[in-house]
Amino acid sequence: AQSVTQPDIHITVSEGASLELRCNYSYGATPYLFWYVQSPGQGLQLLLKYFSGDTLVQGIKGFEAEFKRSQSSFNLRKPSVHWSDAAEYFCAVGAGGGSQGNLIFGKGTKLSVKP
Amino acid sequence: DVKVTQSSRYLVKRTGEKVFLECVQDMDHENMFWYRQDPGLGLRLIYFSYDVKMKEKGDIPEGYSVSREKKERFSLILESASTNQTSMYLCASSSSRDPRYFGPGTRLTVL
């Protein structure tokens, strides 16, 4: 079955510290992978996407993610977290970059940032 | 920049009322989607549309209908609102060249 697992429900990091949010997927075909961020009471904003090519992708707000096919992972990283990064982060996998195909979301990881 | 707008940020309705949630996108995207988001359940797809007047059921279509009369507009209709439809509703659009972009959401409360 197709699925996305974000093992960490809630993570707290200190401002300025590095961050890694984990995402593992199970998908039968070549996956298209996404990370979205949601601030409280807001919609989802696309951080970055992986379709093909270089397995390290850069996104907005200083985020990057690395696709590791052998580990079925697409972890999100940021070298230095800012207080404004506190939000909920969702990993998603689908078929086709923008198609109407099903996009499967993880349950999300809530990030808190300590001053 | 892609812009997806939703008609209301907050909405309070009574049980049994007919509710319309409107979504408009300005990127000429052919695909549009309606999700609901609930704590612990994540995002669940209600309906999507890949063309004007076309619609497909998602994972949880019961109690909902949709309308897409124009390419840029996709409406979600609750024919007779119930308390278990209290939720955050998110609209999204995409195309073959663009991934899914989301609107700001409508938080609906049914009393």
Q: What percent of chain B has pLDDT over 70?
A: 98
Res B40 pLDDT > 60: yes
User: In this structure, are residues B8 and B106 in contact, taking their beta carbons and an 8 Å threshold?
Assistant: yes
Contacts of B31 in chain A (CB under 8 A): 98-100
> Of the candidates A92, A93, A87, A94, which has an alpha carbon nearest to the alpha carbon of residue A109?
A87
Determine the residue of chain A that is closest to B3 in CA distance: A45
User: In this structure, are residues A31 and A24 in contact, taking their beta carbons and an 8 Å threshold?
Assistant: no
Is A90 close to B43, i.e. CB distance below 8 A? yes
Q: What is the pLDDT of residue A97?
A: 47
Helices (H), B1-111: none
- A90 to chain B nearest CA, in Å? 9
Contacts of B90 in chain A (CB under 8 A): 43-44
In sequence order, what are the residues at sequence separation of 6 or more whose Cβ sits closer than 8 angstroms to the Cβ of residue A70? Answer: none
Q: Per-residue pLDDT tens for A24-72? A: 999 877 788 999 999 988 899 999 999 888 899 999 999 999 999 999 9
Say if strands A109-114 and A10-14 run parallel, antiparallel, or are unpaired. parallel
Q: Per-residue pLDDT tens for A12-27? A: 999 999 999 999 999 8
